[in-house]
Amino acid sequence: MKRFLLLLGLLSLLVACVPRTGVLGRYYTLVVQNKCFGNYSTVYVYMDGAQLLGAVSSGETRTFISIPEGSREFKAVPSTGKGDPYFVAYRMDADKTWVLCGK
């Protein structure tokens, strides 16, 4: 019985270490921190020019999961419609963090 429990514990550890993969490859997370104010107090975040991921308000950190691996372009558009969008391009080969208006 002890061997079975030990084997089950080791198997659980191995499964936890397996990278997240899907039909077409691996998936990662993008964390967006919005440190902006004014026109950029709330931004809409898009991936690859069209797919809306969600909104991020000032002082908020939001995690977007299941971003497919590969080269991705992200855009943050102010919800007020005033101001230019922010752009960033990442090679999604690991989890990434994008800080808006941060230094």
**Residue type for position 29:** T
Phi, psi of 19, deg, nearest 5: -65, 150
Residue 52's contacts (CB-CB under 8 Å, 6 or more residues apart) are 44, 45, 46
Q: What value, to the nearest 5°, has the Cα angle with vertex 23 and ends 17 and 28?
A: 50
28 alpha carbon, distance to own chain's centre: 7
Residue 102 vs residue 82, higher pLDDT? 82
Give the per-residue pLDDT at 102.
Answer: 80
Supply the pTM of this predicted model: 0.74
Model confidence pLDDT, tens digit, residues 47-88: 998 899 999 999 999 999 999 999 999 999 999 989 999 999
Q: Largest Cα–Cα distance in the chain? A: 66
